[in-house]
Structure 1
Amino acid sequence: MENQKQQQALDTATFLRVRKWYLLAIATIALTIIVAQILIQQHLNLQLNDSRVINVAGRQRAFSQKLVKEALLLQTAESDTKAQERIREDLKQTLFVWKTSHAGLQNGNDSIGLPKEENKTILSLFKDLNPHHQAMVNAAETMLSEGSKPNIPADAYESQLQVLLDNEGDFLIKMDAIVNEYDALSKEKLQRLKLKEYLLLALSLLILLLEVAFIFRPLSIQIRETISKLIQSQIESDNTASKVKRLFEEKERSLQQLQELNFVIDNAALFASIRKNGTVVFISKKFMNLLGVPNVQLNSPLSEILTEDEGQQQYLREIVTSKRKNIRNEEIEITTKTGTHLWLDMSIIPMHQSSLEQSVLILCSNITERKKNQLKIEELTKQNYEERMQQKQLQASQIVEGQEEERKRIAKDIHDGIGQMLTALKFNIESINLDQKEKTKEKIAYLKTLASDLIKGVRTATFNLTPPELEDHGIFPALQKMTTELSKLTGENILFENKTEENIRFDSLAETNIYRVTQEAVNNAIKYSEANYILVTINHVDGLLSVVIDDDGKGFDPSVLDKVAKKNSEGGMGVFFMKERVNYINGRLFINSIPGEGTRVTINYKVGEAMLDNS
């Protein structure tokens, strides 16, 4: 009984001790949670204030630009009283909000939810910004006060507008610095809060570990699962934060690209802005200098500013006032007021304002020099074409002359050779007297010799005109026959080497031209080279037919060929015809010579479809 009471007391004591530690742990955790919640709430309140301050500070930039824009509109709307009044009211409202926000950011303003600024760095930045802000405020107030006067001159706002434009850039830059400082302070507060949160989290984890070690051992598995879920949530949170960061960076890049595009457009050299009716709103100074116009009266038609030619003016009016949705590019010629002829590459860009009225942006490039160069190129091309045509006509006449000379040579050979032998044959036959048998025998023997010479002359003439081997058996046997016959006729050492394994037939036109070019090259070597030997080598490898004519003669300077050909002398016609024949079959001709060492002529012909000769 006593043991039971002791056991019960022990259980109660254990329960009370566990409950005490449990309550202490719970109280400690609750305290840390309360402290964390208080810190979070305080930070959220501060974040709300910081967000409001950053929003108002960022809005100050937009209001400064809006102020300058409305001031510019107030100047451009000088002929429209109602528009001036409306713009003046907008300008007054913008100025009021801008001034109030500027003062509230420094001294606080309950109506717009701004606390008084205590940070010395930001106050120092505001102190540096205030002169520009005050200068812009004074300029805007002066414009508003002068705007209430009647008969305002067109340049009444020029000086104040210049003050606004001079200070706007500095204001934007320094306002950016203030916004960045606000953002840095907000991040610093967040870092401090995170540090406190981490410390409180560490304390909570320590308490939890003690509870796990001494109280909640049976619940360890569940606690580990809970911690795993927390870690997974942290990872997902980090992934989400990473995605948000990437989106923010893409947004920043897009904004930067837009700013760069605006900068390029704003700083274009030759540009103008016109209304849908073609009248000018703005035109750049460089454009006016190019056109030779010292100043431009606004609301004047752009077509009349660009050119003095009425036809050009009519065309310009049509292209700039026609309605369109896409950009149009035009290359136009204009005649300026100074009488200068210019070519402009014009881009016509339709723009839609907030009032839904269409305007047009004109971007131009001066392409006068390019056009002049194009005209020079066309003139040179035309001149080159005419020279080539004259050269072709000259070559054609030379070819005709060459053909006539060839006909005369053939006629002369037939007349002087075959004709004389036929005449002698005729006279000898007529002079035969059968009564004089001895003389008749001599004449018959002479007639036999004369007939043999006549047959040989006819065969030589026909061989020179069209060798039968070329038509019947192809280029290889024809070249072999040619070298053999020329060697017999001239007594020169003319050799032939065939490196092909089989006889191949080619297109008849190609065979004829290759044969004639080879014949001309061999004849030139016989006439001029004074060579000991002439070697004709033919080869066919991988669809390429190659004919090489080598000699060991005296050679010549290859540059002489070009000089002779340019003089169109008779000596250059042979090489000219050789090149023409090879070019006609889409082949290639190479002539290499070294004085004192010899000459090599190479003919290359890329075979399209070749046929094996089965004969």
Structure 2
Amino acid sequence: MAEKGTRSDHSMRVFWRVTRWYFIALTVIALVVLISHWLIQGHLINQLNDSRIVNVSGRQRMLSQQLAKQVLKLLPDNTPAERKELRRQIQESLNLWVHSFHGLRGGDSTLQLPGQNSEAILQMFDDINEPFQNMHLAALEILDSLDKNINTNYENLLPAKKSILNNEGMFLNGMNNIVFQYDKEAKAKIVHLRKVEFFLLLFTLIALILELIFIFIPTAKYVRRNMRQLANAQEKAIQKTIEIENLYKAKEQSVQKLRALNYALDQATLFASITLDGNLTYISEKLSAFLGYKGKKPIGQLSTVLTKNDVEQQYIDQLIRSLRSSIWTGEVSITDQTDEKKWLELSFVPVNRKGVKQDYLLICSDITPRKTAQAELQKLNQERFELEIQQQKLLSAQVIDAQEKERQRIARDMHDGIGQMLTALKFNLEAINLEKIDKAKLKLEGTKELAANLIKGVRIATFNLTPPELTDYGISPALSKLCSELQKLTGKNILFENKTNFDQRLDPIIETNLYRISQEAVNNAIKYANSSYILLAISHSEDLLSISIDDNGLGLHDDLNTSQKSETTQLGLSFMKERVKFINGRLFIRSEKGKGTRITVNVPI
């Protein structure tokens, strides 16, 4: 007995020691998880603040431009009503602009701006404070003049108007720098969080390894030793297990009855009770009213009570005959007593009671609105699919037509240009008579000129098909060459500007599509917009390449907003949109009638 007591005491000491270390290990892991969650949640909150700050900062640029545009609309010939409307618009823009500026700088709970700016951002705000104050004071001066006299002389408004326009550029540049700095600091926070997360992961792995070495392995040895002891007590446990199983069966029957009752009370308000052969023994008031019965509750077979339709009755009867001793759930269509089509989700729950044959508890849910919505959705999806097929067919036809026109143009250029020059070159060579030296020299000079023109024509045709600069050097040199060549051929001012000295190579498919989009935009400006000045500019950031084409032509207003559209221009714009979509980019077109067009293409890099 003393030996057994000693073994028992030793086992308990081992057990409590293992339990203590196991609790310590779990506590460490829990602390690591909680700290990780706290850090990540804090960072997510900061990320929400950062996104809100960047959004408001971007809006500041728009508001400053909006304020400048509204001030520009103040003209000598404005009517009093127009000046009152402009005064109201300037006041609204100015209030939001000033409120957002102070909120970004010092925080504002109404704008959800924390105001926790770094020293660099605060310095940037100090740098743009002077143009901001100048614009603010000038706008207030204009509002004050209009408040005193809505018909005040235009000359009185001119100094303040010039002050706003002179300071707008500096303010916009400063806000751009602030937005970029906000974005830079947000990325730095993410990098820091990754390091912290990696450290916590490493610490968690070390804790798990230590737990494996000092807790799980000793515990496994201890359990294996005790399993031998438990084998001796197995025979005694078997007898007790039999007794427990008998008690468990009795308990399970009670649990099943309670489960069926709870399921009916908690999950459904439409229910009934039926026998094994489908005869209705009870129906709830709500289900009876739902089926359209008034007054006395219906009796009889469940199928005839639920629906008036013969086919639906046969299906329900067959369903009841196929039921087993498990819960069945499914959807059934019925026709109620008012001839209205409805959908029910039925659940047959078997109920076993002592001394009574098994019956079923029927639980129903009305799913008619959901089924109606699904049918409508399926109809809309089918209509949308058919519309997309028609649009795809139309686009394919346009692409094939454009390809055929391009082939015809190439053939025409080869025949009218290069073909005729080759023919003339052949005739000149055949007409050379070496016996008449002077005439032969003249013929040779003409032949040289024809050969030079022929080479030029071949180069132009090759350049229009695939410029060698695009393949050899990339998109920037190719666009520069495009502008210089088109300037020589057309005599128009076609300029190229690489604002950020972009010289990276992109995927050949992306470069080819960007070149064709730019070529199409410049050609449209030359042919259809009657432009005399075209500027093609390229710039980039860390993850975005931007190409813009500006011209001073007639604009695309009529082509974009009237029913009589230019087929060629519309087809060109459609091709540009498809190319931009193919390379996962975005296309922006801003045009005003008589004031030119700006086309901007942005692609990720």
TM-score, normalised relative to structure 1: 0.51
CA contact (8 A) 2:264 2:271 kept: no
Q: Which residue is 2:306 aligned to?
A: 306
Cα shift readout 1:449-506 (whole Å, capped 9, x = no counterpart): 1111111011000000000111111111111111111111111111111133452111
Q: Which residue is 2:420 aligned to?
A: 420
- DSSP-derived class of the 1:446 partner: helix
Q: Which amino acid aligns with 2:593?
A: P
Q: Which residue is 1:39 aligned to?
A: none
d(CA) in 2 for partners of 1:337, 1:375: 23
How far apart are 1:357 and its partner, in Å?
A: 4.2
Does 2:555 correspond to 1:555? yes
Between the two proteins, the alignment pairs up a number of residues equal to 346
Query: For 1:118-267, what aligned pairs fall within 5 Å after superposition?
Result: 265=265
Q: Which residue is 1:446 aligned to?
A: 446
CA contact (8 A) 1:484 1:494 kept: yes
CA contact (8 A) 1:288 1:295 kept: no
Change (3 A) 1:415 1:301: same
- DSSP-derived class of the 2:334 partner: strand
CA contact (8 A) 1:307 1:313 kept: yes
Change (3 A) 1:545 1:268: closer
How far apart are 1:605 and its partner, in Å?
A: 1.1
2:572 equivalent among 564, 571, 574 = 574
Q: Which amino acid aligns with 2:569?
A: G
Q: Which residue is 1:368 aligned to?
A: 368
Q: Which residue is 1:597 aligned to?
A: 595
d(CA) in 1 for partners of 2:449, 2:318: 96
CA contact (8 A) 1:281 1:298 kept: no
Q: Which residue is 1:496 aligned to?
A: 496
Q: Which amino acid aligns with 2:446?
A: Y
d(CA) in 1 for partners of 2:541, 2:571: 31
Change (3 A) 1:263 1:348: closer
CA contact (8 A) 2:502 2:538 kept: no
Cα shift readout 1:189-237 (whole Å, capped 9, x = no counterpart): xxxxxxxxxxxxxxxxxxxxxxxxxxxxxxxxxxxxxxxxxxxxxxxxx
d(CA) in 2 for partners of 1:534, 1:266: 73
How far apart are 1:586 and its partner, in Å?
A: 1.2
- DSSP-derived class of the 2:528 partner: helix
CA contact (8 A) 2:298 2:305 kept: no
Q: Which residue is 1:76 aligned to?
A: none
Change (3 A) 1:512 1:293: same
TM-score, normalised relative to structure 2: 0.52
CA contact (8 A) 2:422 2:454 kept: yes
d(CA) in 2 for partners of 1:448, 1:301: 105
- DSSP-derived class of the 2:509 partner: helix
How far apart are 1:428 and its partner, in Å?
A: 1.9
- DSSP-derived class of the 1:545 partner: strand
Q: Which amino acid aligns with 1:600?
A: R
d(CA) in 1 for partners of 2:378, 2:298: 41
Cα shift readout 1:407-436 (whole Å, capped 9, x = no counterpart): 001111111111111111122222223333
Q: Which amino acid aligns with 1:590?
A: F
How far apart are 1:278 and its partner, in Å?
A: 1.7
CA contact (8 A) 1:320 1:360 kept: no
Change (3 A) 1:579 1:562: farther
Change (3 A) 1:498 1:298: closer
How far apart are 1:285 and its partner, in Å?
A: 4.4
Q: Give 1 or 2 for the bigger CA radius of gyration.
A: 1
Query: For 1:23-38, what aligned pairs fall within 5 Å after superposition?
Result: none
d(CA) in 2 for partners of 1:314, 1:500: 77
d(CA) in 2 for partners of 1:573, 1:376: 35
How far apart are 1:604 and its partner, in Å?
A: 1.0
CA contact (8 A) 2:524 2:569 kept: no
Q: Which residue is 1:395 aligned to?
A: 395
Change (3 A) 1:562 1:398: farther
Query: For 1:20-169, what aligned pairs fall within 5 Å after superposition?
Result: none
Q: Which residue is 1:334 aligned to?
A: 334
d(CA) in 1 for partners of 2:438, 2:267: 118
Q: Which amino acid aligns with 2:300?
A: S
- DSSP-derived class of the 1:342 partner: strand
Change (3 A) 1:323 1:383: closer
How far apart are 1:310 and its partner, in Å?
A: 5.0
Q: Which amino acid aligns with 1:595?
A: K
How far apart are 1:263 and its partner, in Å?
A: 12
Q: Which amino acid aligns with 1:535?
A: L
Does 2:481 correspond to 1:481? yes
Q: Which amino acid aligns with 2:284?
A: S
Change (3 A) 1:563 1:364: farther
Q: Which residue is 2:378 aligned to?
A: 378
d(CA) in 1 for partners of 2:590, 2:454: 40
Q: Which amino acid aligns with 2:574?
A: F
Query: For 1:8-19, what aligned pairs fall within 5 Å after superposition?
Result: none
Cα shift readout 1:518-564 (whole Å, capped 9, x = no counterpart): 0111111112333342111112211211111112333232x743656
Q: Which residue is 2:227 aligned to?
A: none
Cα shift readout 1:108-152 (whole Å, capped 9, x = no counterpart): xxxxxxxxxxxxxxxxxxxxxxxxxxxxxxxxxxxxxxxxxxxxx
d(CA) in 1 for partners of 2:407, 2:263: 79
How far apart are 1:373 and its partner, in Å?
A: 3.2
Percentage of matched positions with identical amino acids: 49
CA contact (8 A) 2:535 2:550 kept: yes
How far apart are 1:277 and its partner, in Å?
A: 2.9
How far apart are 1:509 and its partner, in Å?
A: 0.6
d(CA) in 2 for partners of 1:298, 1:383: 43
Q: Which residue is 1:232 aligned to?
A: none
Q: Which amino acid aligns with 1:434?
A: L
d(CA) in 1 for partners of 2:474, 2:591: 29
d(CA) in 1 for partners of 2:523, 2:565: 22
Q: Which amino acid aligns with 1:341?
A: K
d(CA) in 2 for partners of 1:562, 1:330: 53
Q: Which amino acid aligns with 2:386?
A: E
- DSSP-derived class of the 2:384 partner: helix
d(CA) in 2 for partners of 1:274, 1:282: 7
Q: Which residue is 1:57 aligned to?
A: none
d(CA) in 1 for partners of 2:313, 2:522: 72
d(CA) in 1 for partners of 2:434, 2:293: 116
d(CA) in 1 for partners of 2:306, 2:343: 11
Change (3 A) 1:343 1:445: same
How far apart are 1:588 and its partner, in Å?
A: 1.2
- DSSP-derived class of the 1:504 partner: coil
d(CA) in 2 for partners of 1:524, 1:267: 66
How far apart are 1:286 and its partner, in Å?
A: 4.6
Q: Which residue is 2:406 aligned to?
A: 406
Structure 1 unaligned blocks of 5 or more: 1-257, 608-615
Q: Which residue is 2:282 aligned to?
A: 282
How far apart are 1:296 and its partner, in Å?
A: 7.5
How far apart are 1:273 and its partner, in Å?
A: 1.8
d(CA) in 2 for partners of 1:465, 1:576: 20
Q: Which residue is 2:203 aligned to?
A: none
Change (3 A) 1:529 1:299: closer
Cα shift readout 1:245-289 (whole Å, capped 9, x = no counterpart): xxxxxxxxxxxxx9xx98994996533221233211122345345
d(CA) in 1 for partners of 2:404, 2:308: 64
d(CA) in 1 for partners of 2:263, 2:470: 78
CA contact (8 A) 2:500 2:539 kept: yes
Does 2:557 correspond to 1:587? no
Structure 2 unaligned blocks of 5 or more: 1-257
Change (3 A) 1:335 1:297: same
